[in-house]
């Protein structure tokens, strides 16, 4: 198990190298979005060091749009976002009243912190935390039983799938709801995760499908939780 975690961390570091001078070779891009009555200004530091953590991916925007369409209530709820990248999903959940922990690998922390400062009023920052989390490695440093666990486009490295499952198992309690929004990339065996691996451990339901963008949103709960 330890060897698997070490291999996965090595694979992740090849995508998110941890180096000094984080934004030295990056070119910043600002994007603006409006969800649930909130105007968001999201910085994206494109470059080799942040890699795929830099941009706002379409699956994240689709998940934000889903929150708006479903009028999801995060007020007073304990929320964690995994693999946040820019933090746009977690930031929206915090603006909607959630007590939110936004997580990713250490290399992404500065970008997320910048976006929290850009978008969160001072009164909201006290219930918004930005923390490094490596799946399957230090997940037990986080408390279990969040009300909502969120992830957008985090299913794309096959060797990390067992680590993501293990992390979800720790974070998820009987009252938890997981929302995973994902581009269904054949080349990354994304369907394998959602159709084969995830259902072994959780109750999973496809709640939204964007045929044009090939994006699915899954609502996931513990198997003992029979909520529809």
User: What is the full DSSP assignment across 84-102?
Assistant: -TT-HHHHHHHHTT-EEEE
The count of structural domains within the chain is 1
Q: What three-state secondary structure class fits 217?
A: strand
> Is position 88 within any domain?
yes
Per-residue pLDDT band at 10 (split at 50, 70, 90):
very low
Range of the domain at 156: 52-222
Confidence of residue 139 (pLDDT cuts 50, 70, 90): very high
- Name the band, by pLDDT with cuts 50, 70 and 90, for residue 55: confident
> What sections of 74-178 are H helices per DSSP?
88-95, 109-119, 122-125, 161-171
Span 202-227, average pLDDT: 89
Considering the domain boundaries, does residue 14 fall inside one?
no
CATH number at residue 209: 3.40.50.150
Angle formed by the axes of helices 58-70 and 88-95, nearest 10°: 20
Sort strands 202-210 and 215-222 into parallel, antiparallel or unpaired: antiparallel
The answer to whether position 22 is within a domain reads: no
Q: What confidence tens digit (pLDDT) does each residue in 78-121 have?
A: 999 999 999 999 999 999 999 999 999 999 999 999 999 999 99
74 — pLDDT class (breaks 50, 70, 90): very high
pLDDT number for residue 47: 62
Average pLDDT over the chain, rounded to an integer: 87
Q: Is residue 167 part of a domain?
A: yes
Q: Average pLDDT of 113-133?
A: 93
Give the rounded percent of residues in the chain with a pLDDT score beyond 90: 72
Q: Give 218: exposed, middle or buried? Use CB within 10 Å, 0-12, 13-18, 19+.
A: buried
Number of CB atoms found within 10 A of residue 180's CB: 25
CA–CA distance, 177 with 225 (Å, rounded to integer): 10
Q: Phi and psi for 34 in degrees, rounded to 5?
A: -130, 120
- E strands present in the chain: 27-35, 38-46, 78-82, 99-104, 128-132, 146-152, 172-183, 202-210, 215-222
Residue pair 89/118 in contact (Cβ under 8 Å)? The answer is no
Q: For residue 5, tell me if it sits in a domain.
A: no
Residue 214, domain member (yes or no) = yes
The reported pLDDT for the residue numbered 6 is: 47
Is 107 inside a domain boundary?
yes
At 145, list the tokens: 């039983």
Domain for residue 123, yes or no?
A: yes
């Amino acid at each position: 198990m330890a060897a698997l975690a070490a291999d996965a961390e090595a694979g992740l570091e090849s995508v998110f190298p941890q180096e000094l001078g984080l934004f030295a070779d990056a070119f910043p891009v600002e994007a603006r979005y409006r969800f649930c009555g909130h105007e968001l200004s999201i910085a994206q530091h494109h470059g080799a060091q942040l890699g795929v953590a830099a941009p706002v991916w379409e699956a994240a925007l689709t998940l934000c749009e889903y929150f708006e369409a479903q009028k999801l209530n995060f007020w007073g709820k304990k929320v964690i976002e995994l693999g946040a990248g820019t933090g746009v999903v977690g930031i929206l959940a915090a603006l909607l009243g959630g007590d939110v922990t936004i997580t990713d690998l250490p290399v992404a922390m500065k970008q997320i912190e910048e976006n929290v400062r850009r978008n969160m009023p001072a009164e909201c920052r006290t219930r918004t935390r930005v923390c490094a989390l490596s799946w399957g490695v230090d997940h037990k440093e986080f408390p279990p039983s969040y009300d909502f666990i969120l992830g957008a486009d985090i299913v794309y490295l096959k060797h990390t799938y067992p680590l993501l499952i293990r992390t979800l198992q720790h974070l998820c309690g009987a009252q938890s709801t997981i929302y995973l929004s994902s581009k269904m990339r054949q080349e990354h065996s994304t369907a394998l995760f959602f159709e084969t691996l995830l259902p072994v451990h959780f109750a999973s339901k496809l709640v939204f499908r964007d045929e044009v963008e090939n994006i699915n949103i899954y609502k996931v709960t513990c198997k003992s939780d029979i909520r529809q």
